[in-house]
Amino acid sequence: MRCFSPIYPGRQRRQPSAILPRHRHQDSYVALVLSGGYEEAGDRGRHRVRAGNAVVHGGFEAHLDRFDASTSEVLDVALPLSHEPSSPVMTVRDFDLAVRLAESDRREAAAFLLSAMRPSHSPILDWPDKLAADLALDSTLRLESWARENHLAMATISRGFFRVFGVSPSAYRAQIRARKAWRRIVERRDSLTSLAFECGFADQAHMTRGVRAVTGQTPGWWRASSIQDSEHVK
């Protein structure tokens, strides 16, 4: 199984101008900004966040962070693996209450944030953000066609996208596609073959390689695990 970056629930202090290279967490969690701010560029695009914003991550999402020139403080709160954020960036008015709850009961803090967070939309900043958004909408998007339509050279796209997101456009597309397949595997009961074609893979074996690279497990393992979990709920 591949290595994932751990999540350390509680308050985290980040040094001025710190950079966290692109990494992937196995679990879902929310990062509530208490002070300072940073730019996050990940599987759900690029966002500028500051105190009062909450960045919500689903399981197996990858991202990198560039912190502001002043010290930043962030509260990390774990969420259920099954949680899939409706919006990557939220606002929380009473984040002091979230801090107090996290100090005594992390589950209550998570429940409070899930009920109190409201979506906060981030504008598209530049062409790398537009490309990331287009790749998220269409995992079969041809980069050469996109480059021509946007009057950019392929070399410019490769260098510029990597500079912002820490990964090449083709790798970004492959990872988003694999994660999308993982979500559908655990949420639905369609055949794995049909899901592979629906998500833009050449065949089921192609999907298996992609899902294993992102999650550390095969589609068959995830399907069996999700069925077992649903039977336990009954």
> pLDDT tens digit string along 189-209?
999 999 999 999 999 999 999
User: Rounded to whole angstroms, how far apart are CA atoms 49 and 189?
Assistant: 37
Average predicted confidence (pLDDT) for the chain: 92
**Identity of the amino acid at 176:** I
**Identity of the amino acid at 9:** P
Q: What is the pTM of this model?
A: 0.90
Q: How far apart are the first and last CA of the chain?
A: 30
> If residue 222 lies in a helix (H) or strand (E), which one and from where to where?
helix 219-233
User: Rounded to whole angstroms, how far apart are CA atoms 48 and 131?
Assistant: 17
User: Rounded to whole angstroms, how far apart are CA atoms 138 and 11?
Assistant: 36
Q: What is the DSSP string of 158-219?
A: HHHHHHHHSS-HHHHHHHHHHHHHHHHHHH--S-HHHHHHHTT-SSHHHHHHHHHHHHSS-H
User: Rounded to whole angstroms, how far apart are CA atoms 159 and 200?
Assistant: 25
pLDDT given at position 142:
93
> Class for domain 127-233, per CATH?
mainly alpha
Which of 222 and 233 is assigned the larger pLDDT?
222
40 within 8 A of 49, measured Cβ to Cβ: yes
State whether residue 49 is helix, strand or coil.
strand
Give the residue from 207, 212, 146 showing the smallest Cα distance to 177: 207
pLDDT digits (tens, 9 = 90+) for 99-132: 999 999 999 999 999 999 999 877 777 999 999 9
Where along the chain do its domains lie? 10-119, 127-233
Check if 10-119 and 127-233 are the same fold: no
Share of the chain above pLDDT 90, in %: 85
134 within 8 A of 146, measured Cβ to Cβ: yes
pLDDT given at position 1:
41
Task: Pull the structure tokens for residue 163.
Answer: 């500079």
CATH T-level fold of 10-119: Jelly Rolls (2.60.120)
pLDDT digits (tens, 9 = 90+) for 53-82: 999 999 999 999 999 999 999 999 999 877
190 within 8 A of 170, measured Cβ to Cβ: no
User: DSSP character for 70?
Assistant: S
Report the length, in residues, of the chain.
234
